[in-house]
Structure 1
Amino acid sequence: MRMLITRPEPDAQATRERLAALEIEAEIAPLMTRQTLGANVPRPEGFAALALTSTNALRALEDLGALDGLRGIPVFAVGDRTAHEARKLGFAQVTAADGTLDSLATSIALARLEGPVLYPAGRHLSGDLAGALAPHGLMVITVPVYEMVAETRLPDPVRPGLIAGRYGAVLLYSRRTAEIFTTLVADLIAPRERPNLPVICLSENVAQPLLGAHFTRVVLADHPSEEAMLAVTLAFAREQTGS
């Protein structure tokens, strides 16, 4: 069974390799590309913590040469994977939330910080961390450091594969990716054919745009993490192949 991975690089290749280790073949069609913005990252003095909702923020900070000054600040990461990447880059005080923005906000609120939180983020925010922490008396300074630019066309090798039904499932990791996917396949897959294509989604929020576009064969991960996505993909592949 061949899967289609839609997440950006370098994460797409990492997922492909992990699926290969599970004996699942996959092709890559990144639907967004990260671009680092020319941001002015504030000096670390005065900030009580750094909030991270994506490894892309870490990559952008590295591109901007801003990591050295920030490594002494406690980090609150949205999940284990982002926390792992932060530790690899030299952050010593790292707390991982449970994979959602709500759990990140709760983790930060429970820390009872004395000072504002620096939030290097993407230009397109999927949630309002500042709004979530305001009732707790915490100020969040949001600095857009990267932008995920949507692709305007699927790769040529992938288009005929989708038309021919070559993929056992499409893996989708973010709501915005799901929205882009539905737009790019609008002229490739007729609405009556869309229920035949399984879509494996990180969460219900990711799945919502797909349901509205008639992709109704939705498989959800048990938890918003890469490990859960791999687990549900393996289980789905085994169920379909009878292995």
Structure 2
Amino acid sequence: MVKLMRMLITRPEPDAQATQERLAALEISADIAPLMTRQTLRAHLPPAEGFSALALTSSNALRALSELDATAGLRNKPVYAVGDRTAHEARQLGFDHVIAADGTLDSLVTTIALARLDGPVFYPAGKHLSGDLAHALAPHGLMVVTTPVYEMVAETALPPAIEGQLAEGTFDAILFYSRRTAEIFCALGASAVPEPDRRKLPVICLSENVAAPLIEHHFSRVLLADHPSEDAMMALALAFAREQTGP
């Protein structure tokens, strides 16, 4: 049985709560310090009739569309989701024809390109894009209409309790799911974690891209998920816990 460890989750809600529950099921204790908060934008959405499909790179886009009461007119469109979790949430909202890519933007581009769609793709997105879907699909002869429907607003400070725990070395590891979250943490947490401690504090990252800002700020113990998914992150967290505490 895995002894109880303590980790820090930096992803936004409601995903942070879901991750905390999954870690608890693995007998890993976790605190939550979301470094971004989603805000739905007052978006002017184009008419759904003009599109052959919908592309999704985040569940946050679905949540924003739901808050904008915009899902009903889109449910008859094929949905191309970046990964299984986003695909699952699309099905939960009543989308019937949902195709999941392999968790990365590149895999989503390939999946859409191979579908040989006969019209433009609607891409409800975040205000801060980590990749350019329209640019990536242009060589395949596909037009993508990108409409920002939400913004992830960065926190301006760490919660005092979390900052204190970081300074005290309370956490056995920190989980990071996006490059922007990692960048925000480096900006806010630098004073709480001196450089010598950064070299010893393990960071569990969804991908190399997510880890890059942490490496630049001298976090040396970087663990990378073998697939950009929550299942892979949980498997990595469990393997790390067992390595530290024994089976």
**Displacement of 1:188:** 1.1
In 2, the alpha carbon distance for the partners of 1:240 and 1:106 equals 39
Which residue of 117, 133, 145 corresponds with 2:137?
133
Which residue of 11, 22, 28 corresponds with 2:32?
28
**Displacement of 1:192:** 1.9
Give the equivalent residue in structure 1 for 2:216: 212
1:42-61 → structure 2 map (5 Å cutoff): 42-61=46-65
Given the alignment of the two structures, is residue 5 of structure 1 paired with residue 15 of structure 2, yes or no?
no
1:29-178 → structure 2 map (5 Å cutoff): 29-178=33-182
Aligned residues: 243
**Displacement of 1:191:** 1.3
In 1, the alpha carbon distance for the partners of 2:70 and 2:163 equals 40
Instruction: List runs of 5+ in structure 2 lacking aligned partners.
Output: none
Give the equivalent residue in structure 1 for 2:234: 230
In 1, the alpha carbon distance for the partners of 2:161 and 2:186 equals 18
1:16-43 Cα deviation digits (max 9, x unpaired): 0011111111000000000000001112
Given the alignment of the two structures, is residue 201 of structure 1 paired with residue 205 of structure 2, yes or no?
yes
In 2, the alpha carbon distance for the partners of 1:156 and 1:189 equals 13
Give the equivalent residue in structure 1 for 2:245: 241
Which residue of 187, 192, 199 corresponds with 2:196?
192
**In structure 1, what residue type is equivalent to 2:14?**
P
**Displacement of 1:81:** 0.3
In 1, the alpha carbon distance for the partners of 2:156 and 2:245 equals 33
**Displacement of 1:143:** 0.2
**In structure 1, what residue type is equivalent to 2:232?**
A
**In structure 2, what residue type is equivalent to 1:32?**
M
**In structure 2, what residue type is equivalent to 1:195?**
R
Instruction: List runs of 5+ in structure 1 lacking aligned partners.
Output: none
Given the alignment of the two structures, is residue 14 of structure 1 paired with residue 37 of structure 2, yes or no?
no
In 1, the alpha carbon distance for the partners of 2:220 and 2:45 equals 42
Which runs of 4 or more aligned residues in structure 1 lie more than 2 Å from their structure 2 counterparts after TM superposition? none
**Displacement of 1:155:** 1.0
- SS of the aligned residue for 2:150 comes to strand
In 2, the alpha carbon distance for the partners of 1:215 and 1:122 equals 28
Moved more, 118-127 or 186-195: 186-195
1:205-241 Cα deviation digits (max 9, x unpaired): 0000000000011000010000000000000011011
